[in-house]
């Protein structure tokens, strides 16, 4: 199955444009491989490219462990981590793809940004994401 990298990059750009506090965004497959990513201009990333890839893989591994509780607590809308230097969020697109993003640590309205600005983007593009296994 061919991956539409143009779509992935456009989603990253659209999400990045939704709020000035969004530092970085990426689309990751179910194996934790970063398929596309965009960084806000003038942002110095805190992790190296290798560290960011490791983070993506562990974020998806954590998400998979949460899945066993879905029958009792419902599907995850997003998960969020507050760190001293930034905020991180994981949002499922479907069972094979996830949107990862980081926000400035000063941002206090992360929930409304995610619910009101980012989830509508995911809902809009969700049907364009292939739900079969990808080749990466």
Domain with residue 57: its CATH number is 3.30.450.30
- Element (H or E) spanning 123, and its range? helix 119-125
Could you give the CA distance from residue 51 to residue 57 in angstroms, rounded to a whole number?
Answer: 10
Is residue 89 included in any domain, yes or no? yes
**What domain count does the chain have?**
1
The DSSP 8-state label assigned to residue 112 in this structure reads H
134 lies in some domain: no
| Tens-binned pLDDT, residue by residue, of the chain (136 aa) | 577 889 999 999 999 999 999 999 999 999 999 999 999 999 988 998 999 999 999 998 888 888 788 899 999 999 999 999 999 999 999 989 999 999 999 999 999 999 999 999 999 998 888 654 444 4
In a domain? residue 135: no
Q: In this structure, is residue 136 part of a structural domain?
A: no
Strand 79-82 and strand 97-104: the pairing is unpaired
Distance CA 46, CA 52 (A): 9
* In a domain? residue 132: no
Domain encompassing residue 103: 5-126
The CB-side HSE value for 32 (13 A sphere, CA atoms) comes to: 15
pTM: 0.90
């Amino acid at each position: 199955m061919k991956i539409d990298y143009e779509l992935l990059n456009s989603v990253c750009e659209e999400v990045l444009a939704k709020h000035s506090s969004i530092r970085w965004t990426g689309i990751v497959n179910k194996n934790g491989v970063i398929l596309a990513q965009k960084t806000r201009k003038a942002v110095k990333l805190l992790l190296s490219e290798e560290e960011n890839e490791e983070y993506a893989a562990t974020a998806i591994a954590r998400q998979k462990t949460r899945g066993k509780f879905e029958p009792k607590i419902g599907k995850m809308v997003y998960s969020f981590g507050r760190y001293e230097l930034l905020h991180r969020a994981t949002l499922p697109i479907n069972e094979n793809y996830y949107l990862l993003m980081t926000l400035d640590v000063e941002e206090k309205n992360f929930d409304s940004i995610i619910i009101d600005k980012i989830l509508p983007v995911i809902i809009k593009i969700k049907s364009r994401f292939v739900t079969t296994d990808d080749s990466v």
